[in-house]
A and B are shown apart, each in its own frame.
Chain A
Amino acid sequence: MSKPTEVNDSNFDQMVLQSKTPVLVDFWAVWCGPCRMVAPVVEELAGEYDGKVTFTKLNVDENPKTSSQYGIMSIPTLLIFKDGAPVSNIIGFRPKAELKKNIDAVL
């Protein structure tokens, strides 16, 4: 099963914006309980969408530049990027079925 890759301020452009496949970014922090609720669901989805969507996570504490650039004011936030731009925005914990709907809508 493919696990989400850590991305950061310095490799965000290359890993996310330049990606040929859609990229889901999980904005999280260690002090955020609901982020820990989202993480296992995102890991499962990473396995199910292997090859179709790239799954990444970004620590907002360590990467304030990217977080503020995309106006992150609440975590967990999942942003899906396609061709270098955010196309879907999921704020807070949502059930797996709803996340799949959001991902399928942009594929």
Chain B
Amino acid sequence: MATKREYDVVIIGGGPAGLTAGIYTARARLKSLLLEKGATGGWIINAGVVENYPGFPDGINGLELADAMQQQAVKFGLETLTAEVTGLDLKGKQKVLKTGEGDIVARAVIVAGGSDRITLGVPGEEEFTGRGVAYCAICDGYFYRDIPVAVVGGGNAAMNEALELTKFASKVTVIHRRDELRATKILQERAFAEPKIEFLWNTVVEAIEGEDTVKNLRLKNVKTGEKSTLDISGIFVAAGFRPNTGYLKSVVDLAENGTIITNEKMETNVPGILAAGDIRANSIRQVAAAVGDGAVAAIYAEQHITGK
């Protein structure tokens, strides 16, 4: 069992929001620790090329951007630890973080743990995960060369997945429950212009079927109620995100969808607990916004600690 460790600021989550907060708190000479359950970088390491973060006119690979942010934060003295946070207790003014690597005590906590993909929750999805059901086109597109695949969803993530998959698959069918996309216009334009992509509107997946691997999808048109079957061996799910706030339910105020409610200083209802990035209510889920949130949270975490 690791010994008890004490920090001024503990940052939960190593994506752009957390790393930016770390740059600021480390430069403020606060003893700062960043906890990340996997590799630093957050969601952008799944994103391929990031095109809308200022300063990179030709776009930048998500992995490279994440690495650069981490190096910058560590250079100024941010400590990092690979550990998953399972609980957060309040002891007077102190915050005690329960982690797989023991308890860690902090004067201020910045929650920047982001979100994970939601699953469809339909029969066959869990059973066939990794055998035809996938959640990351950058990772798994390679295994679906020259065959048709489906993408579920209509947001930015779904369009990015569909466009990425056109590099590998012979055809990409986007299945979306509405009759229009939520994705950014430039991504919509690219998807509509791509001859390999076709759309099934007003359609939901009711079941995923197969034997060893996926063979077909059971679909339903939500407007007409008509049911159909689509023969396909790959389905990429990009239907939305769920914030990683399970351990915070009884600690800070959460919105109905589980995201953390903050004020314009990124403060939650508990003094000394702040939130930044995609985990925050009404986040626009963009790197540029996460970076801004991280800076704001760091400044007001410092103010909480110093009282100035």
Contacts and interface: CB of A to CB of B under 8 A. Distances in A.
Interface string A56-79: 000011000000000111111100
Given A71-B212, A74-B140, A40 B131 contact: no
Nearest to A61: B142
B129 A36 contact: no
B82 A36 contact: no
Interface bracket on A: 20 to 34
A92 B62 CA distance: 19
Contacts of A74: 129-131, 134, 136, 139-140, 143
A39 B140 CA distance: 17
A73 B134 contact: yes
Contacts of A76: 139
A35 interface: yes
Contact of B139 (A33, A39, A41, A89): A33
A45 to B, nearest CB: 11
Interface string B63-78: 1000000000000000
B143 A72 contact: yes
A47 interface: no
B206 interface: no
A74 B139 CA distance: 7
A51 to B, nearest CB: 22
B140 A73 contact: yes
A32 B47 CA distance: 10
A75 to B, nearest CB: 5
Interface string A38-56: 1111001000000000000
Contacts of A95: 37, 84, 100
Contacts of B62: 33
A29 B139 CA distance: 8
Interface in B118-173: 129-132, 134-136, 138-140, 142-144
Contacts of B134: 73-74
Contact of B131 (A31, A33, A73, A97): A73
Interface string B171-211: 00000000000000000000000000000000000000000
B286 interface: no
Contacts of A91: 129-130
Contact of A35 (B47, B84, B139, B144): B139
Contact of A33 (B37, B63, B84): B63
Contacts of A73: 130-132, 134, 140, 143-144, 213, 234
A93 interface: yes
12 contacts: A31-B139, A32-B136, A40-B39, A40-B82, A60-B142, A73-B144, A74-B143, A75-B140, A89-B130, A92-B129, A92-B135, A96-B82
Interface of A: 29, 31-41, 44, 60-61, 71-77, 89, 91-93, 95-97
